[in-house]
Structure 1
């Protein structure tokens, strides 16, 4: 199987990570035989970045014959990547370590991530503050044209990231703080539907149900708006309405991040002050509709 670095084959699973780590370990179940797969990627030193980003890539070969291509990108501010061949909502485990993968370290990372989310109980205020900052940045005009284009790209990406953070923090805080909503989540979350529990393990699983839900929520890609829309409706009774506009913006953000501002058809994506202004208005209205419904719960 051959790959062209300028293109990303679908389906794929995106993820992000701390670019300060030395190594990244990824683990997931093969889509064909369900055998556990693991890959280790060296993370290039950020000091070696020349231009916009550094990359690292690798292949996984399952015993059943399935192949998986993984690529990561490192910028001065973030690390992100994708695994080609698995869906966008497929569960993976990611871990940065000194060389050995173990569940204790993974659970510690989950706990840290969870603590950061539950500490953000004012998720709407956090979103609005971030949007105000991005609006102020958008008012800045840089003399260097290339630098100005890079700034517009980062602002656009920031707006979508702010939306994603709100959707994540609002859902997790609201659901885990209510037994009623937690029960609805367990009953309707599609990833749980194919799981079976033997009677002798029923009590143990009951004791761990909140932890299981917490881990599953943290592994959800919250810019997968079609999936997240269903979760909000099934669990909280919150209706997103049309997601056409934010979904289109998410797709555009994908090309800005993973193709450095080019589509897979090799068309350059234009992002200017007016486009960002319109995006901020659209995303603010989208989030305001959700927040208004959450306040009535």
Structure 2
């Protein structure tokens, strides 16, 4: 940003601040440079910070509610990997095809992550038993202390509270996801070393466009991605099978 543009932005922000002070504090703000004015400026910044925080909370809440209300996570996952398989049949030059492979690998992993997140969040938040198991087994929840007022407030929005926490857990960290499914839902992923490798490879796809730390292209092919898709499909199918016989404590 150039200096002229910076000056213009600063002038606009100063004007917005003065208007807010005049509207909300008025003559009590005193003159610019006075202690009263400095206090008014601080009140403006506090208000601005609270508004930004509120907007951010609204954004995240809408995202968390998407996880809570998402329809058929498994169906969505299957649709996405089917689309990826179709894309792999596109004919193009080698350079463009490598880019396609990079995006396809990353999207396959992301599709599995979305399935795991949506499935776990929906299953847990729709069962008091699973919510209790999560609170007891999760290190963050188990160590959190609340006042009686906070307990009441949290209970009123328990689904969103739990969803917010679970969304904050980075689901591509297999060392966290696997035990959560096991401890709370009793679903064992088995050996998923292949997923840990796929996630590691995905890092190169997302952050370095398919180039490793040595500056070399990572080893991707249509076969490797199709194989990854198959492994993901087997995992999601097994999870869906387990969910059919899950005892959620309801009558």
Q: Aligning the two structures, in what range does the TM-score lie when normalised by the shorter sequence?
A: 0.7 to 0.9
Q: Which residue of 2 aligns with 1:289?
A: 238
More helix, by proportion: 2
Q: Which residue of 2 aligns with 1:105?
A: 55
Q: How does 1:199-218 map to 2 (within 5 A)?
A: 201-218=150-167
Contact 2:73 2:115 in 1 (8 A): yes
- 2:80, 2:186 → 1: CA distance? 27
1:136 aligned onto 2:86 = yes
Q: Which residue of 2 aligns with 1:178?
A: 127
Of 158, 167, 178, which aligns to 1:229?
Answer: 178
- SS for the counterpart of 1:193 is helix
Contact 2:174 2:196 in 1 (8 A): yes
Deviation digits for residues 36-59 of structure 1 (CA, Å, limit 9, x no counterpart): xxxxxxxxxxxxxxxxxxxxxxxx
Unaligned runs of 5+ in 2: 1-47, 247-251
- SS for the counterpart of 2:143 is coil
Equivalent pairs, count: 199
Alpha-carbon offset, residue 271 of structure 1: 1.2
1:280 aligned onto 2:234 = no
Contact 1:238 1:293 in 2 (8 A): yes
Contact 2:64 2:160 in 1 (8 A): no
RCO comparison, higher one (Cα < 8 Å, 6+): 2
Larger mean Cα displacement after TM superposition, 223-232 or 98-107: 98-107
1:114 aligned onto 2:64 = yes
Change in 2 beyond 3 A, CA 1:122/1:204: closer
Q: Which residue of 1 aligns with 2:77?
A: 127
Alpha-carbon offset, residue 265 of structure 1: 3.6
Q: How does 1:159-170 map to 2 (within 5 A)?
A: 159-170=108-119
1:249 aligned onto 2:198 = yes
Q: Which residue of 2 aligns with 1:15?
A: none
More strand, by proportion: 1
Of 207, 212, 219, which aligns to 1:258?
Answer: 207
Contact 2:65 2:160 in 1 (8 A): no
The normalised TM-score by structure 2 is 0.72
Contact 2:61 2:160 in 1 (8 A): no
- 2:210, 2:172 → 1: CA distance? 18
Alpha-carbon offset, residue 204 of structure 1: 4.0
Q: Which residue of 1 aligns with 2:142?
A: 193
Alpha-carbon offset, residue 206 of structure 1: 3.9
- 1:206, 1:174 → 2: CA distance? 18
- 1:213, 1:159 → 2: CA distance? 26
Alpha-carbon offset, residue 102 of structure 1: 2.9
Contact 1:121 1:173 in 2 (8 A): no
RMSD: 2.1
Unaligned runs of 5+ in 1: 1-97
